[in-house]
Chain A
Amino acid sequence: MYLQLAQPRLAEVKGIGIDIASISKIASLVSRYNSETLTLLFTPDEIEQCQSAPHSSRSYAVCFSAKEAVGKALGTGLVDINWNEIETVIVQSGLTIKLRGAAQQKALQCGVKAWLATWCYWDDYVMVHVLSKGEQA
């Protein structure tokens, strides 16, 4: 006699990534380069978002940290991915992750269909936590 147990349908987690960044270090970096040079690192939409945010440096740090965290969740870091191929939209305590180019290709190869991302800050630091899923949220 076989007993078949019902399996709960769990969203398939493909990867997780966590990163911590220093707000003052990112602020120093951003202050020394113009917007054109910064596009190597941030997308134009990220730059616009961060410049108009009430805590600009913190927002830049969140975007930077999110790129690192996504790279870790994809399992490769940012070795074959350009920084500006990972875009972050900051919404309250959550984040929306948008990928393009090599980052998008890598996510497709890994079967990633959706991202969950959160962030927090304390003192001079921000922490971003991302989780990649094999199913749409």
Chain B
Amino acid sequence: MVMDALKDILLDLGIPEQEITEAALLRKDLQLDSTETVDISLGLKRRFGVNVKLESRKDMTLGDVCEMVNQAIAATATAT
């Protein structure tokens, strides 16, 4: 579910579909800049209502991002 949403957001940003895999790194593979990274965060907040911070020292894969979103969703569900 989260990967599908992530894929939609990345397609809107003009990332070719074949490059959108769970192992793809945001910076090294997808060449996302800070504006695009923020766009993903805002898109995920709108779709799932969670805040995920994608600025990190280590380059993240799309799989890592999905994991972060799932953890944030679970934490929100536990809190309510």
Contacts and interface: CB of A to CB of B under 8 A. Distances in A.
Interface of A: 21-22, 25-26, 29, 32-33, 37-38, 40-41, 64, 68, 77-79, 82-83
Most buried by A among B39, B41, B51, B57: B39
B34 interface: yes
A40 B41 contact: yes
Contacts, number: 31
Given A29-B35, A41-B38, A78 B55 contact: yes
Contact of B46 (A21, A22, A37): A37
Chain A interface helix/strand/loop/mixed: mixed
Contact of A64 (B35, B42, B53): B35
Interface of B: 34-35, 38-39, 41-42, 45-46, 51, 53, 55-57
Contacts of A40: 41-42, 45, 51
Contacts of A25: 35
A134 B21 CA distance: 46
Nearest to A68: B34
A64 B55 CA distance: 14
Contacts of A33: 42, 46
A27 B34 CA distance: 14
B42 A79 contact: no
B55 A77 contact: yes
Contacts of B46: 33, 37
Most buried by A among B35, B39, B45, B56: B35
